[in-house]
Amino acid sequence: MDKVRLKVLQGEEYLDRPITTSDISRPALEFAGYFKHYPAMRIQLLGITETSFAKDLTHEKRKKYLTKMCAPQTPCFVISTNLPIPEELAEAAKNTHIPILGTHLTSSQILSNMTSYLLGRLAPRQSLHGVLVDINGVGVLITGDSGVGKSETALELVRRGHRLVADDRVEVYARDEQTLVGTAPAILKHLMEIRGIGIIDVSTLYGTGAIMPSDNINLIVHLETWTPDVQFDRLGDRGDTQTIQGVIIPKVSVPVKTGRNLAIIIESAAMNYRAETMGYDATKTFDENLNRLIKSNSARDTKEKEQHEH
C-alpha cells in the first residue's frame, strides 16, 4: 500500500478481499439513489465532490445509499484528501466487513496511482525464455536457443555498467496497447546461471545498481548460430517485429560466430534504436549518401563523355 500512498482507516482484518478489476468507481448517481448499473466489484473512491454531495442528503438517505454501496463483492472504499469517514459509511462497512482506506492525495492523484498499480498487478502474465537487460534506458530482451550465450552476453553487459532485470525466464505483461513490461520471477530475482560456474547473485557481485525490478521491453535481439546458408539483415532496413500480448516490438537477429563481441553489438543495437526513436535513421543516411555518390558519378561520366565527343 506504500506504493499507492494508502493507509488503513478501518477494517484492517478484512484486507484479504479480492480485487478483480483495475477500474475504479467514483460514485455519483448512487447518491441520487440510482443503482441499476452500480459497479459493485470496483474499488469505490470518495473525494471532496462525493462527500460534499452526501452531506447535503438527510441522514436516512445517506445511510440507505451507503449501506447499498457496501455490496458483498465490493473490495474496499478509498477516501482521498484526508477527508473524514462519513459516519454512515463507517457503520455499513463494519457490518459488511469492507475495509476503508485513506490518503492525503487528491482524488485524481490516487486514481492515477491505483489504476497504474492494478493494471500491472492484474494484467495477464506470459513467461518467455530469454534475458532482459536495461541498456542506457532501453529495455532489451535477448532471445535465442539454449546455450547460444544469452546469459554470458548479459553478464558482460552488466560488467559494462548496464542493469539486469531477469535471466532465463522473463515474465511479461502489457501495461497498455503500446507498452510491454518484463520482470523476473520471484525465485530468480537478481540471479543468473552461467555455464561452468553455476548460479551467481548479480546484486551481491556488482551492487544494487546492477539490477532493476522491472523494465519496459523496447527491443528484441535474437541470437542465432551463424551458418553460411542463412542470410542476415546487413543494412537494418528489413523492419522485423515480434508481437507479444498484442504489443509490437522491433526485432533484430544477430548471428553468433566465434570472435564476435555480442555485448558490444547488442549495446550498439540499443543505442541505434534510441537514435531512431529520436528521428535519426542510419540506414536512410546511408541510402542518401549512396544516391548522392551515384548521381555525382553519373554527372562526371556524362561530362567526360561530352568532352570526349568534342
**Catalytic pick among 3, 97, 129, 305:** 129
* CA distance to 69, 199, 282, per residue, from 238 (Å): 56, 37, 13
Selected catalytic residue, list 195, 234, 308, 310? 234
Q: Is there a binding annotation on residue 233?
A: no
To the query of whether residue 7 is one of the catalytic residues in this protein, the response is no
| Reported confidence tier of residue 226, pLDDT bands at 50, 70, 90 | confident
pLDDT, average across residues 126-137: 95
Is position 129 annotated as part of the catalytic site?
yes
> Annotation-wise, does 133 bind a ligand?
no
pLDDT digits (tens, 9 = 90+) for 58-102: 999 999 999 999 999 999 999 999 999 999 999 999 999 999 999
Residue 150 marked in a binding site: yes
Q: Which one of the listed residues 26, 94, 168, 175 is annotated catalytic?
A: 168
pTM over 0.75: no
pLDDT for 239 = 72
Mean confidence (pLDDT) of the chain:
88
The band of 276, judged by pLDDT with boundaries at 50, 70 and 90, is confident
The verdict on whether residue 146 carries a ligand-binding annotation is yes
For residue 2, the model assigns a pLDDT of 64
Query: Does the annotation list 112 as a binding residue?
Result: no
Is 68 a known ligand-binding residue? Answer: no
- 11-57 pLDDT per residue, tens: 999 999 999 999 999 999 999 999 999 999 999 999 999 999 999 99
Q: Look-up: residue for cell 491505483?
A: 114
Q: Is 72 exposed, middle or buried (0-12, 13-18, 19+ CB in 10 A)?
A: exposed
Q: At what angle do helices 150-159 and 262-277 cross, to 10 degrees?
A: 70
Describe the crossing of helices 87-95 and 59-69 by its angle, rounded to 10 degrees: 40
The verdict on whether 281 is a catalytic residue reads no
Q: Is 182 annotated as a binding residue?
A: no
For 283-297, what is the mean pLDDT?
64
Does 125 qualify as catalytic in the annotation? Answer: no
Residue 104 DSSP class: S
Give the residue-averaged pLDDT of 279-299: 64
Grid cell in block for residue 51: 462527500
SS3 content of the chain, % helix, strand, coil (to 5): 40, 25, 35
Give the pLDDT mean for 288-298: 65
- Whether 309 has a pLDDT exceeding 70, the answer reads no
Catalytic residue, candidates 42, 62, 134, 150: 150
Rounded Cα distance, 133 and 87, in Å: 51
pLDDT tens digits for 152-194?
999 999 999 999 999 999 999 998 889 999 999 999 999 998 8
> Cβ atoms within 10 A of the Cβ of 279, count?
6
Annotated binding residue 47: no
Report the alpha-carbon distance of residue 237 to residue 47 in Å, rounded: 52
